[in-house]
Amino acid sequence: MRDVFAAIPNVRDVRVMTSEPLRILGQHGHQILAQAKDATGATSLTLVQWLRFGGGGYLQVVGMARVEAWQEAYPRFRAVRDGIEPR
């Protein structure tokens, strides 16, 4: 799972803060929260990655915001994640 997280483009100096399993819409999933810098190294970012497993594959959802905007952005990212229904 960390390999998938490491493939996110345009971020550097990624430090994983938490990594934990969870259920997303009744399916197995995993959440990783991290701190990072943008590609220039000038802006501090907080990132979340959710992986939802099922149907022989997985869905990756990534949210990224400046540290100072994180508290407002995180609930919106969760709403997007929870709005994606499997086919």
pLDDT of residue 5: 63
Q: Decide if domain 2-77 falls under CATH 3.40.1000.10.
A: yes
Does the pLDDT at position 1 exceed 60? no
Query: pLDDT tens-digit profile of 75-84?
Result: 999 999 999 8
Secondary structure of residue 32 in the 3-state scheme? strand
Contact status, residue 48 vs residue 32, Cβ threshold 8 Å: yes
pTM of the model: 0.85
Span 24-45, average pLDDT: 93
Q: What are phi and psi of 10, to 5 degrees?
A: 65, 25
